[in-house]
Chain A
C-alpha cells in the first residue's frame, strides 16, 4: 500500500495544510496551521534522512529506496504514482523543508489576504516535494507544473513593482520550457523499451532498458536539458529571473530561488543525463560553453546592478550556471559538487531574499544608492547579510566554499584540456563574486547613514530572527561538516556517473 510509504506524506502534509487553511477564520489560525505544517515537514524530512542512512548502513544498496506501493494512474500510457528516493533527492527534500520552514516565518506578516497567500504557498510546496519524490516521468512533470503555476498568482497578486509584467514573463518563459520538456518526455516514452516490450514512464526502468536510439537522443537531450535549463536560469534563457525575483514577495523569492530553481538542475541530470547518456556525452560541450558563460556573465552583470534583488538574481544566474556546468562534467566529484551547490545556493539565496525582504519592509527601497550605514541601525539584519554575503563569496566554514571547491576539483579531473581550461574560466567567478558582494555590503551596511529617516527603523522581530537563524545554521552546518552531506550525495551520484566511465 502506498500509505505505508513515508514519502507520500511529503505531498499529503502540504495538501492537509491547504485544507486546514481553507477553514481558517483569522490570521492567528492561518499562522498556526502554517507553522504546524512546516514543522511537521521539517521533522519528517529529518526523519527521512535518518531512516535513509539507517537503511544504507544496513546494506540496502538499491539505487532508489522507499519504492514500495506504486499506484497505477492511467493504464494506456502506463503512468504510475511511483515514488523513490536516492541520496540526492533526500538532501533536496531536506533543503526544501528548511526553506519552507524559514519561508513561513519570513512571511509572518503577509498582507493582504494572508490565508490565500499561504494556500498558494502550500500548493507550491506540494509540487516541489512531489517532484523530488517521484520516479515516474509523467508524475514528475505534473508536480513540476503544480509548482510553477502558483508562481503566477503569487507574484501577480502579492508582488511589487511591475508585477503583472514580471508574473507574465516568468510564467510564459517557464511554460515555454515546459513545452520542450513535454516533447522530450513523450519522445523518451515512445522509445523507452526495446521493440515488443511494454513502454514505460518509470525512470529506473527506462535507464535499465537503455533503449532510446542514439539518433533520437541527439534530439531529445537538448529538448529536456533546455526545458529544465530554463528553470535553472541557463544563459540565454535566464531573463525571467531578475524581473521575477524583483517583483516577487519575500517568501516567494525565497522558495523560488531556494527550491524551484533546483528543480531545473535536478531534472537536468535525473532525466536528460541519466536517460540519455550517449547524447549527454556527445553534446555536453555545447551546454558547457553556455553554462560556463552563465557563470562569468551573471557575475559581471551583478557588479553594476543597483537593485538588491537584481544583484541576487544575477548572482543566482552565476551560481546556478555553476550547477549545470558541474553536472555536464559527467564525473562523480563534480556531480557531488553540483548537488552541494544546489543546497548551498538554495539556502544562502533564501537567506539573501529573506533579508532583502526584511530590509525592504523597513526602508521601502531596494536601491543601494538610497541606503547606507544600515549596520548601525539594524545590526542583526546587517550581520545576517554579511554572513550571507560571505557564504556567497565562498568563505570556508560556510556552504558556498565546500560546493564550489568540490565543483572545481571535480571538473578539473576531466581528462580533456578543453574542460580544464573552462574550469579555470569558471574559477574566475570567485573574484567577481567578491567584488559585487563587498560592493553591496560596503554600500548598504557600512559607511555613514544615507537617509536620516532610516534612523528610526527597528531591528528584526522574533519571527524574522528565527527565519534568519534557521538558514544561517543550515549554511554553517554544510560548511563545517561537508563530508556528511557529500558522502550521501556521492554514493547516489556514482551509479549515474558509471554510465560515463
Chain B
C-alpha cells in the first residue's frame, strides 16, 4: 500500500537514537543537536504527509460509505505465542492515530528546536538528543500500534524514555528519586494493564484492535458471563487496562509521579509530561472505546476517576508556588477533563460527542500546554529559578514570552477565539448531556482553571519586581522564541478546525454545533475566574496572604497536595519495606538458611560424638568386640528361650 512509507517515522528516530547513543560522544555538541533536529524535521514531514494523505489524499479506500476506514499499512509478526495470540509490529492509520502523528511530530520537532537553545552548554547534550529520539520513536510506535500488545511494548518504552529524561541531571538526588518514582508508579499501573491484557486475550483470543473493536459485542460475549469477585471478567479486564492508562495519564491516585517529574529539563516536561506521553491513557481508552462503550460499569469508573482528579488537581494547582508544578497539576486536571469526556460519551448521546471532544481537547491542549511549558522554560532560563517569588514584572523584559504565555492562559481558560474554548465547550456539552452533575462539576473546575492560570500569569509577569540577582532577565535566543511564536499561533487558530469531520467515535462525519447556553456559561465562569485572579494577583497586595490565613488548614493541605505523597511514602517505606521485605529477608537468612546450617551443625557434632569409636586403639576395639559378642549371645539365648 502506498501509505506504507509511514513506517519511516519509526525507523528514522530509532536509528537516530542508536547512532547518537553509540557514537554521539564522538560528535561535537552542535553536530549532535543539529543532526537530531534535522532527523526529527524529516520525521515530521513524513508524519504530516501520512496524516494529510490519510485525511485528504486521493482515495485509497480511506473512506467507504462516509466512514473513515482503519488502514493496517504494515503488520510484521514479532513474536508468536499461540496460533492466534501473536504480537505484531505494525502501523495502523485511522483518524486518531493520524491526528496523534501530527500532535507528536509537531511538538517533538518544536522541542528539538527549542532544546538547541535551552540545553546549550549542558553536559550530556548528545545523550539528551539520543533520548529525545528514543522517546519520539516509542511514542509514535504507541499511537500507530495495530494490537494491544504492541501498544504495551511501546508503552513500556515511553516509560523508560521518560525515566531517562527525568533523570537527565543524574547527579542531582532530586532528579534521581523523581525518575525512580515516575518509573515505579507507572510500572505499578502497567501491572494492571498487563493483567487486563491477559484477561482480555484469554477470553477473546486476540490482541488485534480491529478485531476487538469492530465487533465489541462479540468480544464481550466470549467471556460467556464469567465473573470474578462479583464483577464480570470483562469489566475487570477493561478496568485494569484503564488502570494502566490512569498511571501514565496521572489520574488520582496514581498521579503522584507527575509533579516530581518536573525535575527533568523543561523542554522534556513540555514534550513528555504535558503534550504527548501523559495523554497515552486517554488515547488507550479512545482506541478501545467501542469495547468500553458496551460496558457501562467500566465507563462509570472512568468518569468518576476523571472527574475527581480534575477537581483535585485544580484545587492543588491554586496554591502551588513552583511554576512548573502549577503547570503539572494543571496538566493532570486537563487530562482528567479528557478522561471524563470519554467516560460520559455514550454512543446514544449526541452521537458520542464526548469522544470527539476528548480527542479535540487532547489536540488543542497539547499545543497550548507545550506552549506554556516552553514559555516557563524561557522564564526559568532567564531568572534561574522555578519559584514564582523570584519572578514578577517580567512583561517588560520578555515581551514575546509574555504574549505567548498570555495566549496559552487564555486558551486553557476557554476564552474565545482561542483553541481551548472550542474543545472544552464540547466536553462540557457532552458532560451536560450525560448528567447535569458532571456538567456543573466540570464547569466549576473550568472556573478554577481560569483562576489558577491567571494567578500564575500575574505572579510571573505583573505582581512586583523582585531583585533578579546579578543580571536583568532578557528574551531567549531565536531557537527558543520561534517555537513559542509557532505554538502560540497554533493555539489561536486550532479551535477553528472542524474536528468533528475528522475524528468521531464511529469515524463518521459529525458537524459541531456550538451550544450557546453552555458556551455562554463557560465564558462567564472563565471570566469570573480571571477576574478573581486579577483582583488578587495583578498588583502586590495582601489579599492572598489573608485568605490563606483565613483557611490555613485547607491551604496547607492543598499546598502539601492533600498529603498523597506522604501516604505513599508511608505505604512503601513503613509497610512494604519494613513489614514485608525486611521480615522476608530476615526469615530467609535466619529460618530457611538457619535450618540448613543447623542440619550441617547437627551432622558435624554427631560425627564428632562418634569419632571416638575409630580411635585406632586395639584395646577399645577388643572391648567393643567383647561387649558386642556378649550382647549377641544374650539376645540369641533370650530368643531361644
Q: Which residue of B lies closest to A441 (CB)?
A: B180
B592 at the binding interface (Cβ < 8 Å):
yes
A448 at the binding interface (Cβ < 8 Å):
yes
Q: Interface digits, B577-601 against A, CB 8 Å rule (1 contact, 0 not)?
A: 1001110110010001101100010
How far is the CB of B534 from the nearest CB of chain A, in Å?
44
Contact of B202 among A397, A412, A446 (CB under 8 A): A412
A448 touches B577 (CB 8 A): no
A394 at the binding interface (Cβ < 8 Å):
yes
Which residues on A sit within 8 Å (CB–CB) of B177? Answer: 442
A483 touches B79 (CB 8 A): yes
CA distance A343 to B535 in the complex (A): 66
A173 touches B171 (CB 8 A): no
Which residues on A sit within 8 Å (CB–CB) of B575? Answer: none
Q: Which of A440-495 contact B (CB under 8 A)?
A: 442, 445-448, 482-483, 486-487, 490
A239 touches B581 (CB 8 A): no
A239 touches B592 (CB 8 A): yes
A50 at the binding interface (Cβ < 8 Å):
no
A442 touches B80 (CB 8 A): no
A487 touches B80 (CB 8 A): yes
Contact of A300 among B85, B176, B580 (CB under 8 A): B580
A239 touches B596 (CB 8 A): yes
Which residues on B sit within 8 Å (CB–CB) of A373? Answer: 171
Which residues on A sit within 8 Å (CB–CB) of B619? Answer: none
Which residues on A sit within 8 Å (CB–CB) of B167? Answer: 446
B184 touches A438 (CB 8 A): yes
- The number of A-B residue pairs with CB atoms under 8 Å apart is 122
- Flag the segment in B28-36, B188-196, B562-570 that touches A: B188-196
B588 touches A435 (CB 8 A): no
A424 touches B195 (CB 8 A): yes
Which residues on A sit within 8 Å (CB–CB) of B87? Answer: 405
B78 at the binding interface (Cβ < 8 Å):
yes
Q: Which residue of A lies closest to B600 (CB)?
A: A172
A447 touches B156 (CB 8 A): no
B257 at the binding interface (Cβ < 8 Å):
no
B77 at the binding interface (Cβ < 8 Å):
yes
How far is the CB of B81 from the nearest CB of chain A, in Å?
5
A303 at the binding interface (Cβ < 8 Å):
yes
A447 touches B171 (CB 8 A): yes
B464 at the binding interface (Cβ < 8 Å):
no
B581 touches A428 (CB 8 A): no
Given contacts A395-B156, A430-B191, A446-B167, contact A486 B79 (CB under 8 A): yes
B81 touches A410 (CB 8 A): yes
A434 touches B183 (CB 8 A): yes
Which residues on A sit within 8 Å (CB–CB) of B595? Answer: 236
Q: Which residue of B lies closest to A382 (CB)?
A: B170
A297 at the binding interface (Cβ < 8 Å):
yes
Which residues on A sit within 8 Å (CB–CB) of B184? Answer: 431, 434-435, 438
CA distance A173 to B592 in the complex (A): 13
B581 touches A395 (CB 8 A): no
CA distance A390 to B176 in the complex (A): 16
Which residues on A sit within 8 Å (CB–CB) of B584? Answer: 297, 300-301
CA distance A423 to B592 in the complex (A): 25
B78 touches A438 (CB 8 A): no
Number of A positions contacting B (CB below 8 A):
55
A43 at the binding interface (Cβ < 8 Å):
no
How far is the CB of A420 from the nearest CB of chain B, in Å?
7
Q: Which residue of B lies closest to A375 (CB)?
A: B170
Given contacts A300-B584, A442-B177, contact A169 B82 (CB under 8 A): no
B577 touches A395 (CB 8 A): no
A482 touches B81 (CB 8 A): no
Q: Describe B's contact surface by its main secondary structure.
A: helix
B585 touches A305 (CB 8 A): yes
Which residues on B sit within 8 Å (CB–CB) of A413? Answer: 82, 85, 202
CA distance A482 to B160 in the complex (A): 20
B198 at the binding interface (Cβ < 8 Å):
yes
Q: Which of A412-438 contact B (CB under 8 A)?
A: 412-413, 420, 423-424, 427-428, 430-431, 434-435, 438
Which residues on A sit within 8 Å (CB–CB) of B330? Answer: none
B474 at the binding interface (Cβ < 8 Å):
no
CA distance A487 to B86 in the complex (A): 12
B381 at the binding interface (Cβ < 8 Å):
no
CA distance A376 to B149 in the complex (A): 37
Q: Which residue of A lies closest to B172 (CB)?
A: A447
Contact of B198 among A236, A409, A430 (CB under 8 A): A409
CA distance A490 to B179 in the complex (A): 38
A442 touches B194 (CB 8 A): no
Given contacts A412-B202, A438-B183, contact A304 B581 (CB under 8 A): yes
Which residues on A sit within 8 Å (CB–CB) of B149? Answer: 405
A408 at the binding interface (Cβ < 8 Å):
yes
B202 touches A420 (CB 8 A): yes
Which residues on A sit within 8 Å (CB–CB) of B153? Answer: 396, 401
A401 touches B592 (CB 8 A): no
Contact of B588 among A301, A409, A420, A447 (CB under 8 A): A301
A430 touches B592 (CB 8 A): no
How far is the CB of B305 from the nearest CB of chain A, in Å?
20
CA distance A173 to B596 in the complex (A): 9
A409 touches B85 (CB 8 A): yes
Contact of A431 among B191, B577, B581 (CB under 8 A): B191
Q: Which residue of B lies closest to A485 (CB)?
A: B79
A406 at the binding interface (Cβ < 8 Å):
yes
A402 touches B577 (CB 8 A): no
Which residues on B sit within 8 Å (CB–CB) of A370? Answer: none
Q: Which residue of B lies closest to A420 (CB)?
A: B202
Closest 9 pairs between A and B when the two form their complex, measured CB to CB: A239-B593, A396-B153, A446-B170, A303-B581, A412-B198, A446-B176, A434-B187, A304-B581, A482-B79
Q: A390-B160, A431-B187, A483-B78 are in contact. List 12 more A-B contacts (CB 8 A).
A: A169-B596, A236-B592, A236-B595, A300-B584, A333-B82, A396-B154, A406-B81, A409-B81, A423-B198, A424-B195, A434-B183, A446-B171
Enumerate 8 A-B pairs (CB-CB under 8 Å) in ascending A order.
A304-B577, A396-B154, A402-B79, A431-B188, A434-B187, A435-B184, A438-B184, A486-B79
